[in-house]
Amino acid sequence: MSTSTRQLILQRCFEAIQAKGFETLRTDKEIARLKITKGAFYHYFPNKAELGYAVVDEVMLPYYEQKWASLANIEIGVAKALIAVLEQEKTKATETSIKRGDVLTNMILEMSHVDDIFRQKLEVVNEVQVKIIQKAIMSGRIAGELKNQTDARSMALYIVGQLMGCYTISKVRASKETFVSMVGTMQKQLKDVLVAETAASKVSDVTVNTVTSPSGDRPKSTIGVVNPFAKPEEKTEEKSTRGGWFSRNR
């Protein structure tokens, strides 16, 4: 029995989990498909739970790390790389993959409330993605490509969660078209919220446009859009000429 046999078992079971979930995984069927003995299988995995833990640690974790690999240790071109990852998700989506949904999301919904060890391991997979994106956003801010007002961790959590949501809604609708549309909208939103624009065309996180009346009266202010990912400590409130209050980042 070799390490390659163990890896083959993990990969085959991961594919089965992708297709139908962990609870419906039948180890006896996978043993038959792999044409190995039960003794060989249970030598590596004494029970189904241990198999599941190993799949998360050894297959799912690197699978999701690889998804964001282009952002790891990146210093420039962060926004472009981030949008490209989402574009790749759109490109590789198929009707079958959308009907199956995102395997991490499926397992979180299926197992996190049943088995706390599963929950902790799935949280690690989620956190690895968040940290990669968070670090990349911080690098983009240092390079001046991304807006300084953006809270890197909040944005990273949002990106991971939003993509999972795109898979979930598209799965229940069994629609690749829905997925492509939702991810496309997500790409546009990220460009608006994240990317620092040139001085000539810069739109601040709270846009205040001044309009001078023909009579030369004092300019009036019009309220723009608040960046929901601005650092909380950098938000202040000011009163508009409409009599309401609005947030403005320093």
- pTM, rounded to two decimals: 0.77
Q: Which residues contact 169 (CB under 8 A, 6 or more apart)?
A: 178, 182
Residues 6+ apart with CB under 8 A from 40: 1, 5
d(CA 235, CA 250): 7
Position 196 scores a pLDDT of 86
Residue (of 194, 5, 4, 7) closest to 86 by Cα position: 194
Phi, psi of 245 (to 5 degrees): -115, 145
Beta strand 220-223 with 245-249: parallel, antiparallel or unpaired? unpaired
- Give the C-alpha separation, 15 to 8, whole Å: 11
pLDDT at position 227 is: 52
Alpha-carbon Rg for the chain, nearest whole angstrom, is 24
Between CA 52 and CA 194 the distance in angstroms is 37
Amino acid at position 70, single letter: S
The CA-based dihedral angle spanning residues 22, 118, 123, 97, taken in that order and rounded to the nearest 10 degrees: 0
Structural domains present in the chain: 50-194 (1.10.357.10), 208-249 (no CATH)
Mean per-residue pLDDT pooled into runs of 10, the chain (250 residues): 81 94 93 90 93 97 97 94 97 96 97 96 98 97 91 96 98 97 96 72 35 42 44 46 45
What integer pLDDT is reported at residue 120 of this predicted model?
A: 98
Q: What is the per-residue pLDDT for 189?
A: 94
Q: What is the pLDDT of residue 238?
A: 43
